[in-house]
């Protein structure tokens, strides 16, 4: 029997603090060679794309999991499904609708990066983007830093206002709708981007010294959120996976072509969390985290959701692979 979990089941059991904890533990396990990850593969079709990410979280003994997330992006919409297996015996444990799960894990990855890379006194966030993924960025960063103010920018004033209203009851920080990138960035100690932009969304010189930047939207070579000059300004550029960044991080493509960045010298977040590489060295250093999203992260969070749902009696048992 496998447990079928719907979006509503996932929402019922998954909190952002727990998601951040899952991602931090999985990231550390990866740095300690106790986890596996395969870069995203894409099957491109005339009307859309099938995306596949896979990984294994092996650090939890009998609770170790292996699995994959598959999702389609077509004009009619996106559809996400995670298959979770036991890493002990290969048994299919769960099929989990994963739109909300994916948003939470993407945000949580930035939360972990912020925890390890932002200044200890960082309390002002500038968020670029007002969509689904931008919400996850704000919630996760608020879970790891005592934010006083969140400045919101996107090109559509109505979208900005709706975003502020939706988040106002979920975090304690003051939320401000900003009319320009400069207004959002003025003195901001944390910056996050979650857009589908093909060109940088703010100039490099608008970022304050000492800021930490999370870039979560550039997961294709045609997408660029970050000015290449910011990559050059950054004292530390961190990725979740060097191999995956090289395949699909549009933000880093131009700096690499210009010789400002060596793909092989990029620092993986797992090495920092596991204590193998340094993080921020001084308060005025700009740090940049480029997030592509890993199958390992989906598997780790899916394992947590599966256990919580079992304990809560949620989901539907499906008679698959009964033997």
Quick one: three-class SS letters along the chain? CEEEECHHHHHHHCCHHHHHHHHHHHHHHHHCCCEEEEEEEEEECCCEEEEEEEEEECCCHHHCEEEEEEEEEECCEEEEEEEEEECCCCCEEEEEECHHHHHHHHHHHHHHHHHHHCCCCCCEEEEECCCHHHHHHHHHHHHHCCCCEEEEECCCHHHHHHHHHHHCCCCCCEEEECCCHHHHHCCCCEEEECCCCCCCCCCHHHCCCCCEEEECCCCCCCCCCCCHHHHHHCCEEEECCHHHHHHHCHHHHHHHHCCCCCHHHCEEHHHHHCCCCCCCCCCCCCEEEECCCCHHHHHHHHHHHHHHHHHHCCCEEECCCCC
Summarised one tens digit per residue, pLDDT across range 162-217 is 999 999 989 999 999 999 999 999 999 999 999 988 899 999 999 999 999 999 97
Residues 130/160, Cβ–Cβ less than 8 Å? yes
Summarised one tens digit per residue, pLDDT across range 265-291 is 899 999 999 999 999 999 999 999 999
Written as six digits, the tokens of 189 are: 């100690």
Summarised one tens digit per residue, pLDDT across range 58-106 is 976 667 999 999 999 999 999 999 999 999 999 999 999 999 999 999 9
Summarised one tens digit per residue, pLDDT across range 115-128 is 999 999 999 999 99
Ordered by start, the domain boundaries in the chain are 2-102+296-318, 111-294
Tell me, what's the pLDDT at 317?
A: 95
CA distance 90 to 301: 18
Residues 145/211, Cβ–Cβ less than 8 Å? no
Beta bridge mates, 12: none
Tell me, what's the pLDDT at 60?
A: 67
Sheet holding 2-5, edge to edge: 35-44, 48-57, 65-74, 77-86, 92-97, 2-5, 316-318
Fold equal for 2-102+296-318 and 111-294:
no
Give the pairing of strands 2-5 and 48-57: unpaired
Q: Helix 16-31 and helix 99-117: axis angle, to 10°?
A: 70
Q: How far is CA 122 from CA 169, 190, 228, 270, 283, in A?
A: 22, 7, 24, 22, 10
In whole numbers, what is the pLDDT of the chain averaged over residues? 94
Q: Is the pLDDT of residue 323 over 60?
A: no
CA distance 261 to 259: 6
- Alpha-carbon dihedral 122, 126, 129, 131, rounded to 10 degrees: 50
Tell me, what's the pLDDT at 217?
A: 77
Tell me, what's the pLDDT at 35?
A: 96
Tell me, what's the pLDDT at 287?
A: 98
Written as six digits, the tokens of 240 are: 């979740």
Residues 201/178, Cβ–Cβ less than 8 Å? no
CATH architecture of 2-102+296-318: 2-Layer Sandwich (3.30)
Tell me, what's the pLDDT at 50?
A: 98
Length of the chain: 323
Tell the CATH topology of 111-294. Rossmann fold (3.40.50)
Percent of the chain whose predicted confidence (pLDDT) is above 90: 88
């Amino acid at each position: 029997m496998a447990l079928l979990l719907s979006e509503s089941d996932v929402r019922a059991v998954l909190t952002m603090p727990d998601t951040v904890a899952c991602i931090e533990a999985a990231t550390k396990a990866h740095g300690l060679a106790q986890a596996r990850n395969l870069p995203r593969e894409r099957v491109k079709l005339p009307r859309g794309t099938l995306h596949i990410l896979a990984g294994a979280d092996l650090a939890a003994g009998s609770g170790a999991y292996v699995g994959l997330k598959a999702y389609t992006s077509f004009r009619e919409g996106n559809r996400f499904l995670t298959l979770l297996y036991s890493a002990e015996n290969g048994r299919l444990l769960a099929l989990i609708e994963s739109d909300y799960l994916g948003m939470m894990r993407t945000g949580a990855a930035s939360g972990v990066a912020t925890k390890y890379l932002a200044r200890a006194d960082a309390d002002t966030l500038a968020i670029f983007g007002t969509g689904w993924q931008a919400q996850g960025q704000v919630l996760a960063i608020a879970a790891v830093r005592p934010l006083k103010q969140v400045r919101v920018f996107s090109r559509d004033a109505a979208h900005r206002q709706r975003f502020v209203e939706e988040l106002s009851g979920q975090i304690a920080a003051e939320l401000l709708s900003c009319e320009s990138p400069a207004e959002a960035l003025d003195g901001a100690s944390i910056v996050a981007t979650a857009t589908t932009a093909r060109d940088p969304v703010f100039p490099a010189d608008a970022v304050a010294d000492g800021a930490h930047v999370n870039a979560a939207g550039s997961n294709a070579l045609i997408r660029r959120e970050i000015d290449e000059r910011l990559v050059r300004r950054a004292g530390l550029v961190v990725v979740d996976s060097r191999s995956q960044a090289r395949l699909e991080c549009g933000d880093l493509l131009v700096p690499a072509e210009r010789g400002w960045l060596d793909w092989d010298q990029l620092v993986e977040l797992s090495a920092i969390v596991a204590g193998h590489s340094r993080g921020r060295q001084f308060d005025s250093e700009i740090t940049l985290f480029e997030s592509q999203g890993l199958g390992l992260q989906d598997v780790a969070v899916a394992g947590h959701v599966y256990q919580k749902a079992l304990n809560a009696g949620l989901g539907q048992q499906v008679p698959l692979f009964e033997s």
